[in-house]
Amino acid sequence: MRLTAIQMSPTADKAANIEQASRLAEAAIAADRPDLLAFPEVWTCLGGSRAEKFAAAEDLPKGGEGGPAWRFLSALAARHRIYVHGGSIAERAGEKLRNTTLLFGPDGREIARYSKIHLFDITAPDGTGYRESAVYEGGREVVVAEVAGVGVGLSICYDIRFPELFLALRKKGAELIVLPAAFTLQTGKDHWEVLIRARAIETQCWFLAPATCGAHQEGGQTRFTWGHSLVVDPWGHVVARASDGPGWATGRLDRALTERVRANMPLIEHRRL
């Protein structure tokens, strides 16, 4: 299975973001012919005001058609007959939003969704505050879907700091975990790669981690995200990495490697606590 992580530099302009996503996806598909292509976290609207975030959000009725981003993702999957992981987009949920992943099959139908459980309420080393819970509410469900016979665990960004979620995904049958992100520059340069590699080693799962990069405006400040999208194998090796700026990274999931790693070091069977 070929895996492609799309790396974007989005802003609060939803239409421009969809155009950028389309351009990058079409180029990546033409060049690398992935079976599964994934976008970053909140790629339809990164930054902006509270009003802009709500305006860019979509109603996502289960079993029904969503808004422009939902339709773009569905059409992309159907046109190229591939699986498309929609990173995450803002879903309307009453007075707040949800940070929600959408997964589409080669027929364009939505086959799974996941809402981010852990919300990014932290203070960065430079004193910058992030309060995701001011706009978003957290999800509650641990989700594993099937993609061409492979169990795919769904997670988003800040989730990576909570290993119990990834153990739960492995126990539910995950062989690949997708982690779309908008990691900050400050936390990303120190923690992004090491956390993903650690979770891959602990769970003995492949990781597909598409990320945002570059500058955006939020709360009157210019903020930066780290990028460096990754594909990581179950032994913790980085097998593909995006460079600086918009682009993509493609790697090949080798199920024989997964089986060998798990057979030689049966971590799940050895767990005692």
Question: Among this protein's residues, is 175 annotated catalytic?
Answer: no
Looking at residue 84, what is its pLDDT?
98
Place 143 in a pLDDT band, splitting at 50, 70 and 90.
very high
Question: Among this protein's residues, is 41 annotated catalytic?
Answer: yes
2-270: CATH topology: Nitrilase/N-carbamoyl-D-aminoacid amidohydrolase (3.60.110)
CA distance 257 to 242: 23
- Residues β-bridged to residue 121: 131
Out of 41, 58, 91, 137, pick the active-site residue. Answer: 41
Place 62 in a pLDDT band, splitting at 50, 70 and 90.
confident
Looking at residue 90, what is its pLDDT?
98
CA distance 117 to 201: 22
Place 211 in a pLDDT band, splitting at 50, 70 and 90.
very high
pTM score > 0.85 for this model? yes
Question: Among this protein's residues, is 171 annotated catalytic?
Answer: no
Out of 53, 116, 132, 205, pick the active-site residue. Answer: 116
CA distance 35 to 173: 20
Residue ranges covered by each domain of the chain: 2-270
Task: Indicate whether 125 pLDDT > 90.
Answer: no
Task: Indicate whether 219 pLDDT > 90.
Answer: no
Looking at residue 174, what is its pLDDT?
98
Out of 14, 132, 157, 205, pick the active-site residue. Answer: 157
